[in-house]
Structure 1
Amino acid sequence: MTALVRPTHGRMIGGVCAALAQRFGTSATTMRVIFLVSCLLPGPQFLLYLALWILLPSEDKVRHAW
């Protein structure tokens, strides 16, 4: 399994959906559609997105750490 990091390429806003797509082996577009549809349901989806944006390291920062 791949590490959960926000990629430097393929980002739309923060790279959270692209990171989740890489981690779960699906396309970023599919993950974005799932996120948008989930926003129609009640719940803290937007807050979760913001939290992941803050907590997930960027791929370029992880690469420089090695």
Structure 2
Amino acid sequence: MNDRFLINRRDAKVMGVAAGLSDYSGIDPLLIRLGFVAATLITGPVMILLYLLVGWLAPRQ
């Protein structure tokens, strides 16, 4: 578990947001990605917009 959230491009599938959250929280990245998919199905374009904003604005590793 890290002290701050950083984008992880090394283990990234799309933008590295889920891999960065996995490093930050210690949760398996597959569970985070499944959570993103579930949140996208529930909220629609809102989650996609938030994902893109985090991927664009968060610092990189």
Fold match by TM threshold 0.5: yes
Q: Report the number of matched residues.
A: 59
Percent identity of the aligned residues?
27
* TM-score of the two chains, using structure 1 as the length reference: 0.79
Per the alignment, residue 23 of structure 1 pairs with 24
Structure 2 residues not aligned, in runs of 5+? none
- Structure 1 residue 26, shift from structure 2 partner: 0.3
Unmatched runs of 5 consecutive residues or more in structure 1: 60-66
Cα separation, 2, equivalents of 1:51 and 1:18: 16
Equivalents in 2 of 1:12, 1:6: separation in Å? 12
Q: Residue 40 of structure 1: SS of its match in structure 2? A: helix
* Higher gyration radius (CA): 1
Q: What is the match of residue 48 of structure 1?
A: 50
State TM-score, norm by structure 2: 0.85
* Paired amino acid for 1:56: A
Following superposition, the deviation at residue 12 of structure 1 comes to 0.3
Distance 1:33 1:6 in 2: 18
- One-letter code of the match for 1:38? A
User: 4+ runs of 1 displaced by more than 2 Å?
Assistant: none
